[in-house]
Amino acid sequence: MPAAFLVLFYLALTCAPLALAALQGHPPRPLRDELASGVALAGLAILLVEFALSGRFRVISGRIGMDVTMRLHQLLARAASMLILLHPFLYSGPQSLRPGLTAPGSTALNFDWSGLWPGIVAWLLLGAVMVMALGRDGLYRHEIWRALHGIMALVMAGLGVLHATRAGRYSGDPALWGFWWALFAIAVLSLAWVYAVKPLMKARRPWRVGSVTRLADRTWELCLDPEGHKGLHYLPGHFAWISIGKPAVSLNENPFSIASAPAEGGRLRFVIKELGDFTNRLGRVTPGTRAWVDAPFGSLTLKRHRKAGGVAMIAGGVGIAPLLSHLRQLDADDDPRPRVLFYANRAEEQIAYREELHRRGQTGPLRVVHVLSDPPEGWQGETGFVTSEVLTRHLDAEALKSWVFVLCGPPPMLHAVEDALLGLGVSARNILLEQFSYD
Ligand SMILES: Cc1cc2nc3c(=O)[nH]c(=O)nc-3n(C[C@H](O)[C@H](O)[C@H](O)COP(=O)(O)OP(=O)(O)OC[C@H]3O[C@@H](n4cnc5c(N)ncnc54)[C@H](O)[C@@H]3O)c2cc1C
């Protein structure tokens, strides 16, 4: 299904409540009251569809990209929150009350308590979810935030639907009533799929830690071996959710790009940088520990770029992981296309897989350009950051026109390189990008 269909489907879903309300043909109310109902209908629809935009559904993130999915999730959540938080203040107030008239279908506000309380609690919960999401880092562990975020969002959505169907002017109508509860059921099922069904499926395909090896400063290679099964079907550029030493059903799973190539067989290799509680403990994980893998995810693959004239890869630090998978698979396939790897690090000792990259550069059509922002004395490679000047020193006009560009690294670097590439005339369609954080 092309991405354009997904966009149309999304618009249809989120606009449907407004259309269903308009079709009911109720007598008109003051503009402010209609606006108040309209923003609530649109806001609730956007909010309910957010459960599908959690990044855990390949049908969506595999098409529009993980970064775009998460960015949309965040931006649309903000838009929906604004609409819903605004909604009670837009009503023209008690003066619009007329005796004897109550929602649904009435021209007056319905102040019946059974419809009001779910709305008030949902409204307060929404404020709390927003504050928690914006200030999530540093306050509590990421896993705790994820669990609270999911549970609170589901309770809030359920109460929001209850409020709409009991107190809303339009939502008591059978068609809209059915629509709301169907969307809510999908939201519940999507969480059940991610946190119950998928883990149970995962439990039938266990993995074991094969090795944990120190690669560079605070950077490790983790190898996982399939246990009693053939492993995973994946493409270079995909990432996996992994958990180690935990039950299959657990909130403790973290996303990591797969650095091995499918051609290597069942073993999966990851390049992992220490950052927080899970990654800091990696050096102490012993071979043989049980692990779980939920994969493949992501859209940093070359499957839509088979005809590209060459491949330019730009990695910042541990962003080398998915690019290694590409390099390894391209070599395994004897792909003759020229390729250049720009590998940016702060210091020389942070360069991972230096020998392997050098060897691939010697034996295949790969050129490796190391870029150090803090180079040692006598450094022969590029210095500073990956700028337009660095790019044009190693890529000619034909490459800028016909190659595919695969970027992975810290968000500020990625955006600077993307801007530089666009400025050099590279088509946005030829730029693939994955960042390791959605903050
Ligand atoms: C698509 C993707 C691919 C990634 N690939 C790699 C890789 O190949 N190598 C690598 O070193 N790092 C990679 N990361 C980053 C890696 O997931 C985090 O560094 C790791 O999860 C941190 O976990 P922690 O418990 O050590 O630290 P924490 O202190 O718990 O988290 C630090 C930060 O990491 C992020 N994070 C933590 N847990 C999760 C989670 N479950 N889901 C999403 N983000 C989380 C959050 O931004 C958090 O603020 C990738 C991230 C994403 C989203």
255 in contact with ligand 1, CB cutoff 6 A: yes
Same domain as 171, residue 29: yes
Residue nearest to atom 3 of ligand 1 (CA): 256
pLDDT tens digits along 318-359: 999 999 999 999 999 999 999 999 999 999 999 999 999 999
pLDDT of 176 strictly over 90: yes
pLDDT score, position 109: 66
pLDDT score, position 387: 98
pLDDT score, position 138: 65
Same domain as 406, residue 284: no
Structural domain contains residue 375: yes
pLDDT of 96 strictly over 60: no
pLDDT score, position 99: 43
Same domain as 214, residue 315: no
Same domain as 81, residue 39: yes
pLDDT score, position 431: 97
Structural domain contains residue 229: yes
- DSSP-assigned beta bridge partners for residue 213: 221
Q: Which is nearest to 257 in space by CA: 235, 277, 278, 276?
A: 235
144 in contact with ligand 1, CB cutoff 6 A: no
318 in contact with ligand 1, CB cutoff 6 A: yes
pLDDT score, position 58: 83
Structural domain contains residue 303: no
279-294 average pLDDT score: 96
pLDDT score, position 106: 61
pLDDT score, position 83: 96
Same domain as 337, residue 226: no
Structural domain contains residue 306: no
pLDDT of 295 strictly over 80: yes
Structural domain contains residue 276: yes
Which range, of 41-45, 167-171, 315-319, averages the lowest pLDDT? 167-171
297 in contact with ligand 1, CB cutoff 6 A: no
Structural domain contains residue 70: yes
More confident residue, 251 or 359: 359
Q: Grade residue 235 by pLDDT with cuts at 50, 70 and 90.
A: very high
Q: Which of 137, 221, 254, 268 to mutate to test the pocket of ligand 1 (most atoms within 8 A of CB)?
A: 254
Same domain as 147, residue 76: yes
Same domain as 193, residue 90: yes
Q: Grade residue 316 by pLDDT with cuts at 50, 70 and 90.
A: very high
CATH number at residue 376: 3.40.50.80
Domain boundary, last residue among 263, 297, 331: 297
52-71 average pLDDT score: 85
Domain boundary, last residue among 143, 167, 201: 201
Same domain as 193, residue 214: no
135 in contact with ligand 1, CB cutoff 6 A: no
Distance of CA 180 to the CA centre of its chain: 26
pLDDT of 101 strictly over 50: no
Q: What is the largest CA-CA distance in the chain?
A: 87
Same domain as 108, residue 193: yes
Distance (angstroms) between ligand 1 centre and the Cα of 254 equals 6
- Residue numbers of the domain that contains 359: 311-435
Contact 257, 322 (CB under 8 A): yes
Residue nearest to atom 50 of ligand 1 (CA): 436
pLDDT score, position 110: 67
More confident residue, 119 or 437: 119
9-25 average pLDDT score: 95
Same domain as 220, residue 187: no
Gap between the Cα atoms of 53 and 328, Å rounded: 32
Same domain as 291, residue 336: no
pLDDT score, position 328: 98
Residue nearest to atom 25 of ligand 1 (CA): 278
Q: Grade residue 1 by pLDDT with cuts at 50, 70 and 90.
A: low
pLDDT of 97 strictly over 60: no
Domain boundary, last residue among 171, 201, 231: 201
Q: Name the average pLDDT for the chain.
A: 92
The proportion of the chain whose per-residue pLDDT surpasses 70, expressed as a percent, equals 94
pLDDT score, position 105: 57
Same domain as 160, residue 182: yes
Gap between the Cα atoms of 76 and 123, Å rounded: 17
Contact 214, 231 (CB under 8 A): no
SS (H, E, C) the chain: CCHHHHHHHHHHHHHHHHHHHHCCCCCCCCHHHHHHHHHHHHHHHHHHHHHHHCCCCHHHHHHHCHHHHHHHHHHHHHHHHHHHHHHHHHCCCHHHCCCCCCCCCCCCCCCCHHHHHHHHHHHHHHHHHHHHHHCCCCCCCHHHHHHHHHHHHHHHHHHHHHHHHHHCCCCCCHHHHHHHHHHHHHHHHHHHHHHHHHHHHHCCCCEEEEEEEEEECCEEEEEEEECCCCCCCCCCCCEEEEEECCCCCCCCCEEEECCCCHHHCCCEEEEEECCCHHHHCHHHCCCCCEEEEEEEECCCCCCCCCCCCCEEEEEEHHHHHHHHHHHHHHHHCCCCCCEEEEEEECCHHHCCCHHHHHHHHHHCCEEEEEEECCCCCCCCCEECCCCHHHHHHHCCHHHHHHCEEEEEECHHHHHHHHHHHHHCCCCHHHEEEEECCCC
CATH number at residue 223: 2.40.30.10
pLDDT score, position 437: 79
Q: Grade residue 100 by pLDDT with cuts at 50, 70 and 90.
A: very low
pLDDT score, position 217: 84
422 in contact with ligand 1, CB cutoff 6 A: no
Structural domain contains residue 304: no
Structural domain contains residue 302: no
168-190 average pLDDT score: 95
pLDDT of 132 strictly over 90: no
Q: Which of 285, 435, 437 to mutate to test the pocket of ligand 1 (most atoms within 8 A of CB)?
A: 437
Contact 278, 254 (CB under 8 A): yes
Q: Looking at the 3D structure of the chain, how many domains does it have?
A: 3
